[in-house]
Structure 1
Amino acid sequence: MDRGESTTHASTSSRVLALVWVVIAALLLVDVFLRGEGRSAWIATAVLVASIAGVYLMWLRPRVVSTPRGLRVINPVRETFVPWAAVVWVDVTDVLRVHTPGGIVRSWPLRETKRAKVRENLRRDSGLADEPDDDADPARQRPVDVVASQLRRDAERHKARPLSGPIRDVAEAGPAALGAEDEPQTMVPVEVIVVLALTALFVVGALVLA
């Protein structure tokens, strides 16, 4: 990744399953529109629309983006921007974690799915096991560990040649990064508020009409 590029990390399997459901739900909506009648049709429509919004927020939207200015940790409702200067370490327990001087930022989409590995990671985090020395051998790493290693390398590279000044362009590193300097910032993006509000209005309206 060069100085002008961003790299997105997300759960491919979760996104594929989410897209499959969105397609199925859309086809069911068409069927309800063409053949549904009365109260049951309105209720079915409300449930399908709510499920599409939920799948979008929980499985399609979440991701971690490595930008030239820092990390965007995008979770279902909140987004946290962590400037490179505030990235102390990146590791994995049950999820990928970004350590900062003010605390730990957890990533919703990037997870360790193997239970034995989660237990091993939690033991290591509690000081009951030694740290693995496998950064140099990606073949020994689990997929989310590979991402953590990549993000640690990104942090080292960008800290060595930091970009200075406040962030004023939302396209540069996301909405939570606006005005950020050396401290993480967290916000609920307008996108999430709009999706939740429109979904709630639609569901309430459909139930009233039913």
Structure 2
Amino acid sequence: MTSDPQPTPADPAPAYQDRVHRSHAAIAGGVLLLVIGVWLAVDALVRGEGSTPWVALAGLLFAVPLVVAYTLRPAVFANEDRLRVRNPFRTITLPWGAVSGLRAGYSNEVFTQDGTKYQLWAIPVSLRGRKKAARRHAQQVAADDPVTSRVRPGAGPDGTRAPGDQAMDDLREIAERREGAESAQGEPVVRWAYEILAPAAAGAVLLAVLLGIG
């Protein structure tokens, strides 16, 4: 009598999953713009005369990829081996060993070992929020609050940071911890987003031709 074969164990889950950083405000704004754009284009197709419907279609072909590029597309993916930055027109993959630093100023940026700078479009900067937090922290220090006076500048009264600054802190922590790891070594890889550039360019050419011929 033969015994039943032992069940094959399921494939293990990835050891390190990506942490994803995106701007929810940008996504909401992008969806709103797309809805308005499609509504205007449909209205032009239904009611427009002459070349108006074609101009509306060309304008839609030109505008939609740009709206997607600047609102829905930007994202930052981080795991234990690499940082992947998806900007409007490029995707940059940076092993942590190739990252020399991350800077939060008027924009959030990552620097490579050779000095190249890439902006992190998906992580927003709130200068107003920073000033407000810094002013609150200064008031707490002046009041000699034994708890809140130890809060890091730029943080709220409970020690929390603005979302963008907190995201940058998290990325710095991973970069410092993993920069020497063997699996986190390699060269930066940059890929252009042709799926955005091609339709936008085609729409721009078609729109120019239609407007040119009246």
TM-score by length of 2: 0.69
Structure index of larger Rg: 2
Secondary structure of 2:121's counterpart equals strand
Question: 2:123 aligns to what?
Answer: 110
| Cα RMSD for the two superposed structures | 3.4
Instruction: Out of 147-156 and 133-142, give the one that drifted further.
Output: 133-142
Could you tell me how far apart the structure 1 residues matched to 2:71 and 2:64 are? 10
Secondary structure of 2:123's counterpart equals strand
Question: 1:40 aligns to what?
Answer: 52
Deviations 1:57-103 (A, max 9, x none): 12211121113431111221122211111223323101111132112
1:83 aligns with 2:95: yes
Question: 1:25 aligns to what?
Answer: 37
Distance 1:43 1:190, change over 3 A: closer
Could you tell me how far apart the structure 2 residues matched to 1:139 and 1:20 are? 34
Question: 1:146 aligns to what?
Answer: 166
Secondary structure of 2:183's counterpart equals coil
Shift of 1:205: 5.6
TM-score by length of 1: 0.70
Secondary structure of 1:110's counterpart equals coil
Instruction: Out of 28-37 and 184-193, give the one that drifted further.
Output: 184-193
Question: 2:198 aligns to what?
Answer: 194
Secondary structure of 1:5's counterpart equals coil
Deviations 1:3-49 (A, max 9, x none): 33112211110110111110121122222222211133333333333
After the TM superposition, which residues 92-111 of structure 1 pair with which residues of structure 2 at under 5 Å, given as runs?
92-103=104-115, 104-111=117-124
Shift of 1:115: 4.7
Identity of aligned residues (%): 27
| Corresponding residue pairs, total | 184
Instruction: Out of 185-194 and 59-68, give the one that drifted further.
Output: 185-194
Could you tell me how far apart the structure 2 residues matched to 1:204 and 1:42 are? 12
Structure 1: unaligned runs, 5 residues or longer:
122-131, 165-180
Aligned match for 1:163, one of 179, 183, 189: 183
Shift of 1:135: 9.5
